[in-house]
Amino acid sequence: MNLWLRLERISEIPWLAEGLGFIAGVVYALQSWVYAHTQSSILDEGAYLLKGYLFATGKYFPFQEYGPWSNHMPLSFLIPGYIQAVFGPGLRTGRYFAIALGVLTLLGIWIIARRIGGKWWGVAAVWLVALNIPLVKTYSVMSSQGLVACMFVWLLVLTLGPRRPTWQILLGTALAALMMLTRLNLTPVLPFLILYIFWENGKKAGIWSLVVGIFVLVAGHALFWPGILRLWVAWLPLEWIPLLEPWAKPAGALPNWDPEVSISDRLLSFFQGIRIQFFALVGGVFTWIFWPSKDKWRSAWRFRAAVFLSVLLGVLFVFHFWASLLKNYCVFCFPTYLSFFHFLGIFLVALAFSSWEQFADRFKRWIPPVLILALSTGVGYSAIKIWASKRMVERLAGGLLRVDVPRLSGLRIQPGTVELWSLAANKFGWSEVDIFSTTTAALRAAVPMVLGLILALLLLRFGSVGWGKLVGAARQNRFSSAAGVFIIFLIFGTLASLGMGFSPGDRDCGWDVIASYEAGGAHLAEYVPAGSQVYWWGGLSTVPLLYLPDVEIYPPQINNGYSFRLGGDPDELERYGWWSQELADRWVRAADVILIEARLYGGFATSFAESEAFDEVSPTAPLLPCRNNSPIHIFLREQ
């Protein structure tokens, strides 16, 4: 009996699928709990939590002049803000809310995959998420990725598939509009969803869906009018709509953060995204390659749903590819951007896989080998920082470069030998340091790329034979040989990619980050008087300020250097939510309290605090268990 038949018999065991799905949920929840307690807080998380709490408690409101920089749609701040208003401000509330959102997202993924592909696709989908460590990490902190992913999955739960109840369709449409009011980068979802509802459910449901979507959008914009135009003006040509100029960014202000990113780093980010979401993205591409004619689909609704998911996946991928890899602002955000919508690829495969059996081998034969070779080599390159430690690669490079080789002169072999590095140094005039560092970097990239290439070549050579032995002759005849090779590649590529983080220990900071922030916050609250004007230079994440709810801050500092500008009118900058060195000088002189993280100690704020009428009191303990330079120094103005 071949493996495929054995798996089919096992799949018939009652409640096995449900049990495995439940175990996946437990595995996800336990991992999420651990990562919530061990990941260091970053700028985005601190901004969402602090701005949200300030907005929810009425200290400021979104898009307020001279308030915090509202660089995203209002619900991305207000939802975590109101959660803190109910359960108390702080990192614990935000992280536990993120865990709950992740579990709800996983439940929604189970429901959709089971509905469109059967119970075993439901199992596969939840395990693909539960074993994806970078994804679990992303969803375990209070960022907009986890919040939006939960909204996205549940609007699909309500609308995707045949004969959805009208109330669910309208609720799903409203949720899509609310998602748009949470993150602007998900704007394409609402119009494509309404078009799909027209197509799948008819004119009446489509019109009602259109009315609900417009109503929610208009109502949301009315609540934050006209400040919300600040976000739209960045996407609209001012020369065509001059009335929007009052909400444009301040003129003459250059960003402080504008790095030059190499092509190699852009490729690294791209293939990291492919590796981390291997099944969703590669599976989606394979589905498009094996796309059958309309009459070959098992049902008409499956065809319509597949078109809808394909359009969303393609549009959102291109949109986020452009926003990250084709710009300089956040090139390495591409892998995390995919977490907004990666599940679309999983759903697409679950929906269409049963139709792969209908395909003939009708596409050009060069497509499978080229695609598999390119992906394998690229995914290998993405593991450049994972496959070995720096010391191990340095030893490998050192051993290679110290191999004795014959001496050469004028392309003729001379008596005696010389070490390889010395030969290169004499030939090209390179220094020993340059040779060893260049060789180390080349090996670090080349070894995983070559390994990926070799595995791809083996698959192309023996894949068809292996597929036949795996599934048996009867099943093999229902797939083309190319489809069999692609399926093997998809399975093994997914297994090889799952569990591989962005880099070893990325953002992991030891147990317990939440408790250390709370201890640091309690220490700050003990020394910083209520009503104090606080100058913040305490690190990227402003989470510690959540434990000082009765102080005044300089709102533009919440986004640290990302809202810092070079040049521009200071008043216009502050009005918009930005700041500059001139404003920093002004604020530090007016502050009652100056907070400075240890690793930032020694800058102009430190010099001012030490030279003026300030007393330093006992600093906090390290806010991050993994960093000894993370205490916050506290300077209080003398009374």
46 and 117, same domain (yes or no): yes
Please give the Cα distance from 205 to 197 (Å, whole number).
Answer: 7
Q: What is the pLDDT of residues 235-285, one digit of tens each?
A: 777 777 777 788 888 888 888 877 788 898 899 999 999 999 999 999 999
Asked if residue 106 belongs to a domain, the reply is: yes
Residue type for position 94:
G
With a cut of 70, say whether residue 432 has pLDDT above it. Answer: no
Asked if residue 52 belongs to a domain, the reply is: yes
**Of the candidate ranges 78-82, 430-434, 603-607, the one whose mean pLDDT is the lowest:** 430-434
So what's the pLDDT on residue 404? 60
So what's the pLDDT on residue 486? 79
Please give the Cα distance from 37 to 48 (Å, whole number).
Answer: 18
Q: What is the pLDDT of residues 315-363, one digit of tens each?
A: 999 999 999 999 888 898 999 999 999 999 999 999 988 776 544 455 5
With a cut of 80, say whether residue 70 has pLDDT above it. Answer: yes
The average pLDDT across 383-408 equals 63
526 and 444, same domain (yes or no): no
Q: What is the pLDDT of residues 412-429, one digit of tens each?
A: 665 656 656 565 666 666
Asked if residue 306 belongs to a domain, the reply is: no
Closest CA to 309 of 288, 293, 323: 288
Q: Are 537 and 596 in contact (CB under 8 A)?
A: yes
With a cut of 70, say whether residue 502 has pLDDT above it. Answer: no
Asked if residue 299 belongs to a domain, the reply is: no
Q: ω into residue 226 within 30 of 0, thus cis?
A: yes
532 and 415, same domain (yes or no): no
So what's the pLDDT on residue 451? 83
Which two three-digit tokens encode residue 113? Answer: 């995959």
For the chain, give the mean pLDDT: 87
So what's the pLDDT on residue 293? 79
With a cut of 70, say whether residue 467 has pLDDT above it. Answer: no
159 and 41, same domain (yes or no): yes
428 and 475, same domain (yes or no): yes
Mark which of 261, 277, 292 sits at the end of a domain: 261
Residue type for position 160:
L
Asked if residue 570 belongs to a domain, the reply is: yes
190 and 105, same domain (yes or no): yes
**In this structure, how many other beta carbons lie within 10 angstroms of the beta carbon of residue 453?**
15
The average pLDDT across 614-630 equals 92
Residue with structure tokens 């200290």? Answer: 59
Confidence of residue 584 (pLDDT cuts 50, 70, 90): very high
473 and 575, same domain (yes or no): no
**In this structure, how many other beta carbons lie within 10 angstroms of the beta carbon of residue 209?**
26
Mark which of 261, 283, 314 sits at the end of a domain: 261
Asked if residue 19 belongs to a domain, the reply is: no
100 and 214, same domain (yes or no): yes
So what's the pLDDT on residue 453? 86
So what's the pLDDT on residue 52? 97
Residue-wise DSSP of 492-520: HHHHHHTT--SSTTTTB--TTHHHHHHHH
Please give the Cα distance from 140 to 102 (Å, whole number).
Answer: 7
The average pLDDT across 471-498 equals 70
The average pLDDT across 525-538 equals 95
- What are residue 215's phi and psi, to 5 degrees? -60, -50
Q: Spell 530-547 as b/e; 16+ CB within 10 A means b.
A: eebebbbbbbbbbbbbbb
The residues pairing with 565 across neighbouring beta strands, listed in sequence order, are 255
Q: ω into residue 246 within 30 of 0, thus cis?
A: no
Mark which of 212, 228, 261 sits at the end of a domain: 261
Residue with structure tokens 């956040």? Answer: 330
So what's the pLDDT on residue 639? 74
Which two three-digit tokens encode residue 586? Answer: 């002004």
Q: ω into residue 506 within 30 of 0, thus cis?
A: no
With a cut of 70, say whether residue 19 has pLDDT above it. Answer: yes
For residue 225, count CB atoms less than 10 angstroms from its CB and return exposed for 0-12, middle for 13-18, buried for 19 or more: exposed
Q: What CATH number does residue 569 fall under?
A: 3.40.50
Closest CA to 124 of 5, 289, 7: 7
Strand ranges (E), 410-512: 412-419
Higher pLDDT, 301 or 289: 301
What is the rounded radius of gyration, in angstroms, for the C-alpha atoms of the chain? 28
Q: Are 159 and 168 in contact (CB under 8 A)?
A: yes
Please give the Cα distance from 11 to 118 (Å, whole number).
Answer: 11
So what's the pLDDT on residue 504? 42
Residue with structure tokens 């698959």? Answer: 459
Which strand (E) or helix (H) includes residue 533? strand 533-537
So what's the pLDDT on residue 468? 66
Tell me the torsion sign for CA atoms 30, 34, 36, 37: positive
429 and 526, same domain (yes or no): no
240 and 187, same domain (yes or no): yes
- Domain total in the chain: 3
Closest CA to 249 of 236, 232, 234: 234
Q: What is the pLDDT of residues 144-192, one digit of tens each?
A: 999 999 999 999 999 999 999 999 999 999 999 999 999 999 999 999 9
**In this structure, how many other beta carbons lie within 10 angstroms of the beta carbon of residue 309?**
27
So what's the pLDDT on residue 510? 85
Residue-wise DSSP of 338-372: GGGTTHHHHHHHHHHHHHHTT--S-S-TTHHHHHH
User: CA-CA distances (angstroms) from residue 383 to 237, 276, 376?
Assistant: 41, 10, 11
With a cut of 70, say whether residue 474 has pLDDT above it. Answer: no
With a cut of 70, say whether residue 101 has pLDDT above it. Answer: yes
53 and 121, same domain (yes or no): yes
So what's the pLDDT on residue 369? 81
Higher pLDDT, 419 or 371: 371
Which two three-digit tokens encode residue 451? Answer: 């390994």
So what's the pLDDT on residue 89? 97
Domain boundaries, position 573:
513-637
Which two three-digit tokens encode residue 92? Answer: 């614990």
Task: Give the 3-state secondary structure percentages of the chain, helix then strand then coil, rounded to 5.
Answer: 65, 5, 30
Q: Are 355 and 121 in contact (CB under 8 A)?
A: no
Asked if residue 303 belongs to a domain, the reply is: no
172 and 254, same domain (yes or no): yes
Asked if residue 369 belongs to a domain, the reply is: no
**Of the candidate ranges 112-126, 496-510, 603-617, the one whose mean pLDDT is the lowest:** 496-510
**HSE-CB for 12 with a 13 A CA cutoff:** 5
User: CA-CA distances (angstroms) from residue 4 to 472, 473, 491?
Assistant: 7, 11, 14
Residues 6+ apart with CB under 8 A from 321: 270, 334
**In this structure, how many other beta carbons lie within 10 angstroms of the beta carbon of residue 267?**
14
Residue type for position 395:
R
Please give the Cα distance from 180 to 178 (Å, whole number).
Answer: 5
